[in-house]
Structure 1
Amino acid sequence: MASCKRDQEQHYHEVFITKTVTIQPPPLVASPTFLPLSNLDSQCPALMYLVFFYREPVPASSSSSSSLFSSLKRGLEEALASWYPAAGRLRLSSHSGKFTLACRNGTGALLLQASTTARISDLGDLSQPNNFVDRLVFRPPLNASLEDTPLVVGQVTKFGCGGYAIGVGTNHALFDGVANYNFLNAWAGRAAGRRLQAMPPGQAEPVHDRGRLLELHGHQHGHDDDPAEFMAIDHLHQLIKQKQDPIILRNGEEKLVLRTFSVECAMVSRLKSKAMSGGTANCSSFEVVAAHMWKARTKALNIPNHRTVCLQFTVDARGRMHPPLPPSFAGNAFVLSSLLCTAAELDRLPLAALVLRIQAAKRAVTHAYVARYIAALGEAPRTSLPPLPELTMVSDWTKTPYHRVDFGAGEAAYVAPLATPMPQAAYFMQSPGEAGSVDVRIGLPEKTLSAFETYFLHGF
């Protein structure tokens, strides 16, 4: 009897693929044969996944999940008229070692229809990672070559409760977070039948050409002794050199567990008040949460006081170049900024002082910084970083509220990112449950989770 029950539970959590189609741009779309990619595009040529959850059944205007699938299929085909690189494939030059994007190879994006008898309520808190959610996206076979892998994959899964999920994977070589958000809005708007004129400014006509960034590949700007121009990469080199120290920080090198910590609006307000009472004239939610989280993570990992610790965070370079890149630029335009100190100094610094340092690191991202950063990426070997417990990385998604991407059923109940190639990085996301609150998803060693929660949510 127990065995029968286990078999039923296993079947209950299966996901059945019922349809797979390849989506091409409309036949009359004129696109370049190849699109050269920049050093920023080449940092992480991997699929990044988001899963949109909708608790309510398919809208009344659609009689079934098949109708939803049809609208997503039509919407994606229409969106590819402007976002044609999403239907291409990556190519790696054996001569230069650089990536290009083949736009006219007829391969297309991939869209799947699926169903499960599971109910969305079975997943519990949607903000927390769940192994079942991995089944709601299409993952290419492990032996698939990069050149054969679709750059955009989508899967719509109907749940037994009538709700559904839309799992989307986009290759990071195509888009950064802003471009990905604009692409998904373009797809969703067409799937929902909204007129193009109703789309937000900057999203109607994406700019795919990377020419402005390609010009910087061999660029040497400024003086080698200007610390601002080497900040992020120089700090990484310092941490890697420090790693050769015989001290072993096992807390930061164990298998990481993903968790989401919700920073309520009231807590964000208290952090801002604390920073401003300490002498900061103004500050953003990102700045205070990042500063506070850096201290909490460093304490939770029990990093020795004499060790150098580093905070790195993404900065959108679109508006920092001269002339600026257009808001609709559809490639990768984010660079890392960085600040460094010892663990002891970090522990002593008040929140206001940390916020001021983060603001200074933001201001350091000038056109010259971006130029040197891009050139340095081209000079660095394409290898993954070793485990660096002293490195805290933050990617700010609060300006791309994915839960508001409307495929025709309004806002999603939640949008869950799946594990990324850098699970130790923290992702700041708008919480759909409360305006002004921030969900922080981060990978931590399991035995440090309780300490981090205490320091982060209660220790201020």
Structure 2
Amino acid sequence: MTSLSPIPTYEDLKIIFQEYSLVSPSQKTPRKSIYLSNIDQILNYNIPTAHFFKRSPDFPHENVARKLKIALQKVLVPYDFMAGRLELNLQTGRLEVDCNGAGVGFVVASSEFSLEEVGDHLIHPNLGYRQLAIEKLESLGHEVDQPLCVFQITSFKCGGFAIGMSTNHIILDGMGAKAFMENLASQAFDDGPLAVVPCNDRRLLAARSPPQVVFPHPEYLALDLPTGESSGPPVYDCGREKLNFRIFKLSPTIISNMKAKAKSTINKSAKISTFKVAAALMWRCHAFSGDIRHERDEKSTILTSINLRSRVIPNLPPSYSGNGVLPIGISTTFEDLENGSFSTIVELISNRLDDMTEEYAKSAFDWLEVHRGVPHGDYLIASWLGLGFDEVEYPWGKPIYCCPIVNHRKDICWVFRDVIDDGIAVMVALPAEEMVRFETLFYEFFR
């Protein structure tokens, strides 16, 4: 078990940008507007990721950049919405995607560093990674002209390179992004077929008419915004400030011990996943890392998301390209978090995740239709476990490491696979004093 601090860290990777362009579908696609579900509507912000590759003698970065651009042109035909632009329907107050073929961003850059100099096996949360997946093309100016996705290939002096992808969350969730990257990789091979056929019908998750809200949904904040020209949908985002970053590692042995501890007082046959024990630990550490003294009966709420693809009937196709997830909240009192057993917290998380029914999901979509609200909680714990970006096979090989890019959002942590020790790593961002308390609580758990 280790806590890694970001040393060495480079906030400036000495990037030289060589090309900015727009890539459009290789053939004309129909002009149409794409319906966006109630979950799509509220995720109007960018998710930047980085995918690192070691040097390939057969594929110098110039060749990779050329192949990647051609692959993008081809894959944007079935993914025509990615080359479109957001627009507000003034009658409904809902965002839609105008499939106008305007294109995705494409950036070519180089760094003066080698991959070895960037960080310890690349897993440090270097702020400089933000330079590997820029979010906008400044030459386009107005927000309405900005692409919904920007790809960036950055070469390093060692011959390795990174493919950065900054994508508006509206158009893809994690599973959808994995399917897209599989298809992008397939098109980088000469005359390769699509890996999977994307399902772009987001009406599969449309609210019912009339809406039927049959459950309470305390994890959402009702805004009840008016519809019309001056009022688009709300945006779910997190506060930003100056933060410290740490990666907390949990080895396979420690994870096994945590699962055993969680099962000590609950049903021995219960399925206790790695994510559930990690989320319980992160929740407890975060809840008491602030400088506010909470009342004993005051509630603490974490947010996470559940994959709906196999939970609705009929099941969503695995290649569903929209946001096939549902943000859910899990709450308990600060008293129970502090003095209750670890197994009780894990059981609470487990029950909430496992009991998620199709009817509850439909009720949540209907609630959002009525109230135009947003998810509301103290801490969002997002999982990359099982996404498998590092399993995607490109002509130049599989990525040696893939990661979300750190940002200045203190109310979110990322759980992902530890490529060194085969355990998991959790990326946490907090103000300096809160980070000290968080780290103390983290280590106290294992004493």
TM-score by length of 2: 0.85
In structure 2, relative to structure 1, the CA distance for the partners of 1:139 and 1:279 (3 Å cut) is: closer
Cα distance, 1:305 vs. partner?
4.6
Give a deviation string over 1:242-267, Cα, whole Å, max 9, x none: xxxxxxxxxx9964333322221111
Preserved CA contact (<8 Å) 1:76 1:187: yes
Aligned to 1:94: 90
Secondary structure of the structure 2 residue equivalent to 1:300: coil
Equivalent of residue 219 in structure 1, options 211, 216, 225? 211
Secondary structure of the structure 2 residue equivalent to 1:394: strand
In structure 2, relative to structure 1, the CA distance for the partners of 1:369 and 1:384 (3 Å cut) is: closer
Cα distance, 1:99 vs. partner?
0.7
Equivalent of residue 207 in structure 1, options 196, 199, 202? 199
**Aligned mates of 1:112, 1:217 — CA distance in 2:** 43
Look up the equivalent residue of 2:151 and give its one-letter code: G
Give a deviation string over 1:89-123, Cα, whole Å, max 9, x none: 111123322111111x2311121111122222332
Aligned to 2:429: 443
Preserved CA contact (<8 Å) 2:243 2:410: yes
Cα distance, 1:315 vs. partner?
0.5
Give a deviation string over 1:145-168, Cα, whole Å, max 9, x none: 442111121111111222211111
Query: Mean alpha-carbon deviation: is it higher for 358-367 or for 264-273?
Result: 358-367
Look up the equivalent residue of 1:287 and give its one-letter code: K
Aligned to 2:392: 405
**Aligned mates of 1:393, 1:110 — CA distance in 2:** 29
Q: What is the number of equivalent residue pairs in this alignment?
A: 415
Equivalent of residue 289 in structure 1, options 258, 261, 278? 278
Cα distance, 1:456 vs. partner?
2.2
Equivalent of residue 298 in structure 1, options 279, 287, 300? 287
Cα distance, 1:421 vs. partner?
7.8
Preserved CA contact (<8 Å) 1:90 1:99: yes
Look up the equivalent residue of 1:164 and give its one-letter code: F
Aligned to 1:245: none
1:456 and 2:442 are equivalent in the alignment: yes
Preserved CA contact (<8 Å) 1:175 1:331: yes
Cα distance, 1:26 vs. partner?
2.5
Aligned to 1:44: 43
Cα distance, 1:438 vs. partner?
1.2
**Aligned mates of 1:450, 1:421 — CA distance in 2:** 17
1:82 and 2:69 are equivalent in the alignment: no
Cα distance, 1:72 vs. partner?
0.7
Preserved CA contact (<8 Å) 1:48 1:420: no
Cα distance, 1:183 vs. partner?
0.6
Preserved CA contact (<8 Å) 2:207 2:366: no
In structure 2, relative to structure 1, the CA distance for the partners of 1:446 and 1:87 (3 Å cut) is: same
Give a deviation string over 1:331-363, Cα, whole Å, max 9, x none: 012112222221111112212222221122113
Secondary structure of the structure 1 residue equivalent to 2:288: helix
Preserved CA contact (<8 Å) 2:176 2:319: yes
Preserved CA contact (<8 Å) 1:109 1:153: yes
Aligned to 2:177: 180
Look up the equivalent residue of 1:120 and give its one-letter code: L
Q: CA RMSD in A?
A: 2.7
Look up the equivalent residue of 2:426 and give its one-letter code: V
**Aligned mates of 1:417, 1:217 — CA distance in 2:** 37
Aligned to 2:309: 318
**Aligned mates of 2:191, 2:350 — CA distance in 1:** 39
Preserved CA contact (<8 Å) 2:42 2:374: no
Unaligned stretches of 5+ in structure 1? 1-9, 238-251
Cα distance, 1:380 vs. partner?
3.8
**Aligned mates of 1:130, 1:123 — CA distance in 2:** 8
Look up the equivalent residue of 2:383 and give its one-letter code: D
In structure 2, relative to structure 1, the CA distance for the partners of 1:329 and 1:53 (3 Å cut) is: same
**Aligned mates of 1:421, 1:27 — CA distance in 2:** 39
User: Structure 2 matches for 1:91-240, cutoff 5 A?
Assistant: 91-103=87-99, 105-125=100-120, 126-140=122-136, 144-193=141-190, 195-196=192-193, 199=195, 204-216=196-208, 218-222=210-214, 226-227=215-216, 230-233=217-220
Aligned to 2:345: 354
Preserved CA contact (<8 Å) 1:403 1:432: no
In structure 2, relative to structure 1, the CA distance for the partners of 1:441 and 1:379 (3 Å cut) is: farther
Secondary structure of the structure 1 residue equivalent to 2:386: coil
**Aligned mates of 2:241, 2:67 — CA distance in 1:** 44
Cα distance, 1:194 vs. partner?
8.3
Preserved CA contact (<8 Å) 1:217 1:378: no
User: Structure 2 matches for 1:1-80, cutoff 5 A?
Assistant: 13-27=13-27, 30-31=29-30, 33-54=32-53, 56-57=54-55, 59-62=56-59, 64-80=60-76
Equivalent of residue 332 in structure 2, options 341, 347, 350? 341
Look up the equivalent residue of 2:76 and give its one-letter code: L
**Aligned mates of 2:248, 2:189 — CA distance in 1:** 32
**Aligned mates of 1:47, 1:217 — CA distance in 2:** 31
Preserved CA contact (<8 Å) 2:213 2:367: no
Preserved CA contact (<8 Å) 1:89 1:147: yes
In structure 2, relative to structure 1, the CA distance for the partners of 1:344 and 1:454 (3 Å cut) is: same
**Aligned mates of 1:423, 1:26 — CA distance in 2:** 41
**Aligned mates of 2:434, 2:393 — CA distance in 1:** 37
Preserved CA contact (<8 Å) 1:280 1:355: no
Cα distance, 1:79 vs. partner?
1.7
In structure 2, relative to structure 1, the CA distance for the partners of 1:273 and 1:116 (3 Å cut) is: same
Secondary structure of the structure 1 residue equivalent to 2:310: helix
Give a deviation string over 1:289-317, Cα, whole Å, max 9, x none: 11122112223225435232112211011
Cα distance, 1:49 vs. partner?
0.6
Give a deviation string over 1:353-402, Cα, whole Å, max 9, x none: 222211221134222211221222234456797xx7xx122112101022
Look up the equivalent residue of 2:425 and give its one-letter code: D
Aligned to 2:321: 330
Preserved CA contact (<8 Å) 1:280 1:352: no
Query: Mean alpha-carbon deviation: is it higher for 342-351 or for 15-24?
Result: 15-24
Instruction: Please identify which structure carries the higher helix content.
Output: 1
Secondary structure of the structure 2 residue equivalent to 1:96: coil
Preserved CA contact (<8 Å) 1:300 1:451: yes
Unaligned stretches of 5+ in structure 2? 1-9, 224-238
